[in-house]
Amino acid sequence: MKIRSVNSFILDIPTIRPHQLAMHTITKQAIVLVCIQNEEGQEGWAEVATIGGASYGEGTPEAIKVNIDTYITPHLIGKNANDYAKIMTDLNKVVRGNYFAKSVVESALIDLAAKEKQLPAYELLGGKIHSSLPLAWTLASGDTAKDIAEAERFLEEKRHRIFKLKIGKGDPYKNVNHVLEIIRSVGDRARVTVDINQAWDETTADYCIAALQEGGVSMVEQPLPTWNLEGMARLTEKYAVPIMADEAANSIHDVFQITKLRAGNSIALKPCKHGGLLETKKVAAIAEGAGFGLYGGTMIESTLGTAVCASVYSTIGEFTFGTELFGPLLFKDRITVDNLRFENFELIIPDGPGFGMEIDKDKVEFYQR
């Protein structure tokens, strides 16, 4: 069945509390939705999220939408969604970069192709290995006592036992002490990681990682700017605690260079930054071949985007550091009729046709810009 139309939408959805990163604090999250419809009226839907406009990366929601509408859509009309791999291969020859835009388009193609076959999307991605994925949560109040209380509550509720702290903003040394207090309180029952979001220079990282390693932190994510692969390699060689590449690990070529230089020893996967689900599988294979650990990252997607990520993550062998697909738990509302299930510290993989999510078009209209 041929593709008849491609439509994109920018939505802004409020969060239950501010979510602080080094470069931005999220109080409402911008997402881009794509709907691809075939000649019989069947629809494939997908989502990609961005953080802080242009403060996180070059893929702003406005740029994603205009590039989909102007440069990508003409290459989709009249094609068959079932040919998603060929469509994306051909598209990569005529549209450079634009990984976020390509990712959401490819996901919508796969959702439509899977629905046409009445199959879960993961069946088109190699088949499901995991029925659920371990789920991290970010402690982000900035208040040590509140963060400890929140961690204790989620442990009691069996919601999370992996906790990440964003410590790239503010005084690095005070932030390290904040982390160490939390480890002393819950570290015997949970894994505690930190994410610096590129905010440290190498001197600061050297001092702080030493203290974090001694204190029992289980992973340090992207301590240095993306360009400083040599610095990342020096930190990786010096410390036993795993060093994770996130913002630096985008295309398969980036990830190859990171593994070659040992600029870290683990990789955060995110379909949007790799350019799609098929590319995510390639990135995971490169990392696995190099002996790097994997982490299932998030860009704070809502229920639909989280289901997209969960579907591809379910087909990848091992996540040494778990996943952080907590986005839906941070939103005040959802844009799907279906909700995701979180049980016993894990996210349950949806099994319905496509990504297992039915879009709520009234909510799309309500939150659309």
CA 259 to chain CA mean position, Å: 20
DSSP letter (8 states) at residue 74: G
348 has which bridge partners?
132
Residue 256 is predicted with a pLDDT of 98
Give DSSP secondary structure letters for 312-337.
HHTTSS--TT-B---HHHHBSS-SBS
* Known catalytic membership, residue 332: no
**168 vs 142: CA distance, rounded Å:** 12
**153 vs 308: CA distance, rounded Å:** 28
pLDDT per position as a tens digit, 253-303: 999 999 999 999 999 999 999 999 999 999 999 999 999 999 999 999 999
- Among residues 132, 90, 84, 92, the alpha carbon closest in space to that of 111 is found at 84
Q: What average pLDDT is seen over the chain?
A: 95
Residue 28 is predicted with a pLDDT of 87
Query: Residues 6 or more apart from 85 whose CB is under 8 A from it?
Result: 278
Q: Give CB contacts under 8 A, 24+ apart, made by 286-293.
A: 286/252, 286/255, 286/256, 286/259, 287/255, 287/259, 288/317, 288/318, 289/259, 290/259, 290/260, 291/265, 292/259, 292/264, 292/265, 292/266, 292/267, 293/242, 293/244, 293/265, 293/266, 293/267, 293/320, 293/321
Query: 3-state class of 91 per DSSP?
Result: helix
Answer yes or no: are the C-beta atoms of 167 and 179 closer than 8 Å. Answer: yes
**What are the b/e assignments for 165-189, b being 16+ CB within 10 Å?**
bbbbbeebeebbebbbebbebbbee
137 has which bridge partners?
163
Residue 83 is predicted with a pLDDT of 98
* Helix boundaries (H) for the chain: 61-67, 84-94, 99-117, 144-156, 172-186, 202-215, 229-238, 252-261, 271-274, 277-289, 303-313, 327-330, 361-367
pLDDT per position as a tens digit, 242-262: 999 999 999 999 999 999 999
Residue 27 is predicted with a pLDDT of 79
**256 vs 1: CA distance, rounded Å:** 37
DSSP letter (8 states) at residue 349: P
**Which of the residues 102, 166, 270, 273 is marked catalytic?**
166
All residue ranges of the chain with pLDDT < 70 are: 19-24, 52-57
Residue 64 is predicted with a pLDDT of 97
Answer yes or no: are the C-beta atoms of 186 and 215 closer than 8 Å. Answer: no
**110 vs 120: CA distance, rounded Å:** 10
Residue 140 is predicted with a pLDDT of 85
Largest CA distance in the chain: 61
**302 vs 67: CA distance, rounded Å:** 22
**Hey, what domains does the chain have and what are their CATH numbers?**
3-119+360-367 (3.30.390.10), 125-348 (3.20.20.120)
